[in-house]
Structure 1
């Protein structure tokens, strides 16, 4: 029998591996189809994945019949996956993956700023230093993209930062959600289907049926919207201390750069590494603050 700590480590590393590939997957998928088709397709796939998981746990019927917290569920569904991913996908359309992906990781910093207002948490010096380092990293990464001759429009950077605000808002909204996490996620994604379907119908209406487009959308639905979240929940469930696996998430942005360089062929310079290092250092400071 595998010890609980080893299970936790395996699940955490699987989640990190999934998250490390999605920036590359987003760019490849968006080359084949519009962001509206990608969102609708991935939304559909994620519903089937989450439903299969709950069915295996014999929790699918309660998830489909026991609906609570309707205002929270509807607001959550509108944010994630509908609005959040549409904005994130547009940021990936405009930006190099090596710029969009690290900016997306600053959602934890945005979350801490939101918590100041919503949860009335206080700001300590580690918070402030973490925020400054994190956003300094964003500036350095953006400058690195320009120096490498990549197209880094400020509008795209703004969209990527806006996506972090939406993602942080989603977690703040769900801080008081009494639903079981996987059940709540399935309900959110079911409620989002009319929204993502309507967005595709109104703003696109053209369906790319090529196998590469469908497979790439399926990959996003399975690994970004589905099992990565489940792996992380299992890692936390089996960990004796959440902090023992929480730090592993910071492997993801560096591993992601490897996939971005080798698969997408984007040139990754030393300045990008420096900027990413500043961003991760800021996030680590934020994490250490939460333990105090």
Structure 2
């Protein structure tokens, strides 16, 4: 039997990552029925940190981790405060308020937010496709948040939509600032979680959320920490290192929200609204335009 090529392996790793990502909205939805956003984040962050530490131990990189923790503790504290603490707290609040189908669709517009924020931060310029992509994506957000009643501008839950959109700003800011981070990616991510965990714990203690943890929610939080925050990062990095065609692997991301809709309807028993499907189609079209323009430019 002929061994698999690196590109084939990359596609398999990428596809597995996307499948894991597609289950996250369902895991959020089910877990938040029993846990608060803070409780969910605390457990998930702890689980992710354990996973990453075990992985670094197997790789023999704990010494490098200790050195980086001492030399770059300010960087680790800064990035850990942004992600996972602030980002996931805001994102989970959006999932708590909105139907998961709406929160996850809106969250996918972070790539458009990143393009616009890269102008002042990285001194990049925008082109016509970027504006077309933004118009399509944000029309999709408007369509989803008004449940199709665009002309009336009657939002189903303006606060929830605000949290979902703000999460895209935080995520984009994190990745733009991350371009200047010199730490190895896996070391940096582990330190981010290590420095964020005490902050999340203190926040949970101050807000009185360290008690009344329900078992059914805990299992979902463990799943999120292990697969969404931990394993998926490792698999995706591995896929990008193996492939000779990054865009081919990156395009697999478009499958995630579509698969997510299926899991939400089948596992979380969430009725999928026509407005979500139409709005999601607009968002995916906008992201496709953006990716197509970047590929042609490259």
TM-score range, shorter chain: over 0.9
The structural deviation recorded for 1:57 is 1.6
The structural deviation recorded for 1:171 is 0.3
Any idea what the Cα deviations from partners look like across 1:93-124, whole Å, max 9, x if unmatched?
10001100011111111110110110010110
- Which residue does the alignment assign to 1:224? 228
The structural deviation recorded for 1:145 is 7.3
Alignment map for 1:78-97 (pairs within 5 Å): 78-97=81-100
- Structure 2: gaps (5+ residues): none
TM-score, reference length from structure 2: 0.93
Alignment map for 1:22-171 (pairs within 5 Å): 22-67=24-69, 68-144=71-147, 152-171=156-175
Q: 1:184 to 1:204 in 2, by over 3 A?
A: same
Instruction: For 1:112 and 1:74, locate their aligned partners in 2 and report how far apart those are by CA, in whole Å.
Output: 26
Instruction: For 1:190 and 1:145, locate their aligned partners in 2 and report how far apart those are by CA, in whole Å.
Output: 42
Kindly indicate whether the alpha-carbon contact (under 8 Å) linking 1:18 and 1:223 is maintained by their aligned counterparts in 2.
Answer: yes
- Structure 1: gaps (5+ residues): none
Instruction: For 1:73 and 1:173, locate their aligned partners in 2 and report how far apart those are by CA, in whole Å.
Output: 12
- Which residue does the alignment assign to 2:206? 202
Instruction: For 1:65 and 1:112, locate their aligned partners in 2 and report how far apart those are by CA, in whole Å.
Output: 34
- Which residue does the alignment assign to 1:184? 188
TM-score, reference length from structure 1: 0.94
The structural deviation recorded for 1:146 is 7.5
Q: CA RMSD in A?
A: 1.6
Kindly indicate whether the alpha-carbon contact (under 8 Å) linking 1:141 and 1:275 is maintained by their aligned counterparts in 2.
Answer: yes
Instruction: For 2:62 and 2:290, locate their aligned partners in 1 and report how far apart those are by CA, in whole Å.
Output: 36
Instruction: For 2:63 and 2:217, locate their aligned partners in 1 and report how far apart those are by CA, in whole Å.
Output: 32
Kindly indicate whether the alpha-carbon contact (under 8 Å) linking 2:17 and 2:235 is maintained by their aligned counterparts in 1.
Answer: yes
Q: Does 1:21 align with 2:52?
A: no
Give 3-state SS (helix, strand or coil) of 1:225's partner. Answer: helix
For these two proteins, the number of residue pairs brought into alignment is 289
Counterpart among 266, 273, 284 of residue 288 in structure 2: 284
